[in-house]
Amino acid sequence: MDGWIETFTNLLQNPFFLILAVIFAVLIVFGVIKKLFKLAMIILAAFVIYIAYLLWTGQDIPKSFDGIKDSVKETISRSKDNAEETKENIKDAAKKKAGEVAKDEFNEIIEDVKEKVGLDN
């Protein structure tokens, strides 16, 4: 372990390696700050979109963090209910359309069989 510490100390005493280490440290710090800034911008954009949604739907803007939390929970609950209702509507429409298509296909098959057998209506 002493050999490693001695090598590290020698590297830091050399001005070239010291400058290189400082440049790498600055790049790492800059990268971290850039990522944090991007995260802050995403959170800010989501908050602005949420406030715009509240204004567009005519709801009151919460005045405290607890109000925001409750409002978000309520909005998510309503969204889940709407999604469930939409899912059921789509399922019913798909069943209806599948029944119509099956009936049309069945009628076409019956007509083809009648033509081949020679039966006329």
CB 71 within 8 Å of CB 54: yes
Each residue of 68-121: pLDDT tens digit? Answer: 788 778 888 888 888 888 988 898 888 888 888 888 888 888 888 888 887 655
Q: Give the Cα separation of 24 and 33 in Å (integer).
A: 14
Q: Give the Cα separation of 36 and 31 in Å (integer).
A: 9
pTM for the model stands at: 0.44
Nearest Cα neighbor of 72 from 58, 53, 56 is 53
DSSP 59: P
Q: Give the Cα separation of 67 and 93 in Å (integer).
A: 39
Q: Decide if pLDDT at 25 tops 70.
A: yes
Name the band, by pLDDT with cuts 50, 70 and 90, for residue 39: very high
Token pair of 63 as six digits: 């005045």
Listed by start position, the domains of the chain span 1-61, 63-121
Q: What is the pLDDT of residue 43?
A: 93
Q: What is the pLDDT of residue 1?
A: 58
Three-state secondary structure call for residue 58: coil
Q: Give the Cα separation of 116 and 110 in Å (integer).
A: 10
Each residue of 45-65: pLDDT tens digit? Answer: 998 998 888 888 888 777 777
Q: What is the pLDDT of residue 121?
A: 53
> Which has more confidence, 12 or 25?
25
Q: Decide if pLDDT at 40 tops 90.
A: yes
**Angle at Cα 64 formed by Cα 63 and Cα 70, nearest 5°?**
100
